[in-house]
């Protein structure tokens, strides 16, 4: 959530930045925020004045009673009764204004960093780096959804029988590759200084609000209504919420956590060839990295996280590129996002496998995640990244490494999975 004081002190900048993110009616919404805030201030001032007047009359009544001036005291009592009614109405109005202001504030996305390019669609994202050569496959090479049936390593039909579409079974070497990827990613995160945690895979509404999934993405999450709990869309949510309502000391910074979890996304309305096979699932595995940093360190930390993801893809020997997302394609809570895409040789297209983002103070303001600087509390910056999401990585590994004899396993995974190929 944006800081109200920042909006008040930087109205034109805020409007311009929101327009870069293609937020509808940016100027009108900002004006509404400022008007509600002024109304809230006026109501608070009226309430304070009314309470002060009531307290002053109470003291006068006490004095009059001591002096035996009962009639004058009773007259003032009638006036204080009227003030009590007025103060109650003001308190109700104040609460209503505060609620309206908060409800409006949480609809406003984070402001994009100055380096975010203009643009509305994914086609306007900017490629800033690319690495690796696109493999040339043999004539009868197949996409991964055919390979997994050929080698019986992933079963979508069985998953559909047990759960529904988008919930596959991984079998035999397919399951072992999943485990190998998870262990590889976690080991690499540990080597990079991340402390591993194993968080819950359900969250409450307060946690969803803290990281910006609520009230923005209810339709994308699975909701256990009886307990009002949500299945996590990513480990970012429970990890970052570890620090909700926390004031971290300087000695506790920087925070660097990593976690493996299954992730759950309803992906309502997803259909077509671009979501076939492993390209888009309702349940998938992912290793997430999260950092909490001082504001002056966060963009250096973002660069470090980008380098970490680069190293993973390099060791897997996958061709990849990095995109700086344009304003219109960025997430609601992000200030700057880099997407990683690997090339899927059999599908002949790029597949997104990671997003690495800096949220600056946007999440921290909702979380009340702070530190103390010279005795004053200061919001921290939060960052996260996929390191990595498994389905499309696995799809690219299967497709790019297929031969007429079978599928070669990247060398870096062989020690984890115990075999060099699938045949």
pLDDT tens digits for range 231-245: 999 999 999 999 999
Residue 302: CA count within 13 A, CB half-sphere? 23
90 with 157, same domain?
no
93 and 140 belong to one structural domain:
no
Query: Is residue 371 included in any domain, yes or no?
Result: yes
Residue 113 lies in a domain: no
pLDDT by residue (tens digit) across 317-332?
999 999 999 999 999 9
Give how many domains the chain has, as a whole number.
2
Does some domain include residue 116?
no
Query: Element (H or E) spanning 323, and its range?
Result: strand 320-324
At 168, list the tokens: 């596959």
- The rounded mean pLDDT for the chain is 95
Give the residue numbers spanning the domain of 323: 122-422
Q: Say yes or no: 224 and 90 in one domain.
A: no
DSSP per-residue string spanning 111-171: PPPTTPPP-SSGGG-EEEEEESPPPPPPTT---HHHHHHHTT-EEHHHHHHHT-TT-PEE-
Mean pLDDT of 360-387: 97
If asked whether residues 139 and 84 sit together in one domain, one would say: no
Are 227 and 348 part of one and the same domain? yes
Burial 328-345, CB ≥16 within 10 A → b, else e: bbbbebbbbbbbbbbbbb
Domain co-membership, 18 together with 164? no
Q: Answer for the pair 261, 386: CB distance below 8 angstroms, yes or no.
A: no
128 and 49 belong to one structural domain: no
- Inside any domain, residue 111: no
Q: What is the mean pLDDT of residues 207-220?
A: 91
Q: Are residues 269 and 214 in the same domain?
A: yes
Give the Cβ contact number of residue 84 at 10 Å. Answer: 13
The verdict on residue 98 lying in a domain is: yes
pLDDT digits (tens, 9 = 90+) for 92-118: 999 999 999 999 999 999 999 999 999
Tell me the H-state helices in 152-272: 156-162, 173-191, 205-211, 236-240
Name the token pair of 124: 């306007």
272 shares its domain with 418: yes
**Which tens digit of pLDDT belongs to each residue from 165-189?**
999 999 999 999 999 999 999 999 9
Residue 265: CB atoms within 10 Å: 20
The domain that holds 385 is classified in CATH as 3.30.930.10
Does residue 274 share a domain with residue 214? Answer: yes
The CATH number of the domain holding residue 98 is: 1.10.287.40
Q: Does the pLDDT of residue 206 top 70, yes or no?
A: yes
* 122 has pLDDT over 90: yes
Which of 57, 80, 105 is where one domain is finished?
105
Q: What is the pTM of this model?
A: 0.94
The pLDDT assigned to 69 comes to: 74
H or E element at residue 321 = strand 320-324
Evaluate whether residue 112 is within a structural domain. no
Dist. CA 1–CA 210, nearest whole Å: 9
pLDDT band at 79 (very low <50, low <70, confident <90, very high): confident
**Is residue 282 domain-resident?**
yes
Res 128: pLDDT? 98
Residues 229 and 326 in one domain: yes
Residue 353 lies in a domain: yes
Q: Are strands 247-248 and 370-373 parallel, antiparallel or unpaired?
A: parallel
Single out the residue of 44, 31, 39 nearest to residue 108, CA to CA: 31
pLDDT 10s digits, 129-152: 999 999 999 999 999 999 999 999
88 and 129, same domain (yes or no) = no
Quick one: 137 exposed, middle or buried, by C-beta within 10 A (0-12, 13-18, 19+)?
middle
Which of 45, 74, 105 is a domain's end point? 105
Break the chain down into helix, strand, coil percent, rounded to 5: 50, 20, 30
> Which has the closest alpha carbon to 308: 234, 384, 251?
384
Distance from the first to the final alpha carbon of the chain: 51
Q: What span, in angstroms and rounded, lies between the C-alpha atoms of 21 and 84?
A: 47
> Which of 105, 137, 163 is the last residue in one of the domains?
105
């Amino acid at each position: 959530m944006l800081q109200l004081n920042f909006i008040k002190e930087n109205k034109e900048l805020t409007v311009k930045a929101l327009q870069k993110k293609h937020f509808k009616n940016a100027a009108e919404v900002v004006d509404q925020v400022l008007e509600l805030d002024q109304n809230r201030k006026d109501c608070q001032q009226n309430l304070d004045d009314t309470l002060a007047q009531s307290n002053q009359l109470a003291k006068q009544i006490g004095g009059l009673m001591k002096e035996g001036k009962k009639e004058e005291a009773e007259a003032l009592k009638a006036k204080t009764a009227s003030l009590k009614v007025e103060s109650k109405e003001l308190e109700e109005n104040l609460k209503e204004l505060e609620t309206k202001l908060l409800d409006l504030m949480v609809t406003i996305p984070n402001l994009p960093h100055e380096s975010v390019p203009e643009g509305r669609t994914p086609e306007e994202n900017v490629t800033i780096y690319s690495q690796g050569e696109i493999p040339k496959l043999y004539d009868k090479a197949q996409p991964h959804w055919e390979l997994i049936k050929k080698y019986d390593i992933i079963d979508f039909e069985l998953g559909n029988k047990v759960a529904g579409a988008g919930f596959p079974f991984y079998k035999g070497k397919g399951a072992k590759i999943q485990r190998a990827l998870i262990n590889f990613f976690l080991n690499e995160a540990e080597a990079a200084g991340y402390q591993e945690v194993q968080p819950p895979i359900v969250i409450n509404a307060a946690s969803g609000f803290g990281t910006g999934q609520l009230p923005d993405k209810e339709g994308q999450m699975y909701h256990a209504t009886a307990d009002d709990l949500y299945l996590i869309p990513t480990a970012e949510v429970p990890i970052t919420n570890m620090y909700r309502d926390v004031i971290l000391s300087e000695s506790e910074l920087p925070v660097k956590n990593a976690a493996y979890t299954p992730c759950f996304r309803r992906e309502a309305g997803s259909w077509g060839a671009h979501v076939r096979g492993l390209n888009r699932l309702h349940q998938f595995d992912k290793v997430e990295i999260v950092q909490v940093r001082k504001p002056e360190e966060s963009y250096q930390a973002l660069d470090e996280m980008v380098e970490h993801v680069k190293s993973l893809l390099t060791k897997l020997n996958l061709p990849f590129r990095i995109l700086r997302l344009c304003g219109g394609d960025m997430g609601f809570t992000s200030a700057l996002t880099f997407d990683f895409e690997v090339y899927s040789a059999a599908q002949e297209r790029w597949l997104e496998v990671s997003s690495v983002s800096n949220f600056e103070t946007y999440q921290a303001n909702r979380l009340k995640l702070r530190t103390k600087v010279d005795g004053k509390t200061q919001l921290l910056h939060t960052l996260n990244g996929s390191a990595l999401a498994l389905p499309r990585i696995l799809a690219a590994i299967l497709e790019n490494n297929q031969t007429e004899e079978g599928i070669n396993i990247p060398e870096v995974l062989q020690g984890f999975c115990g075999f060099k190929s699938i045949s």
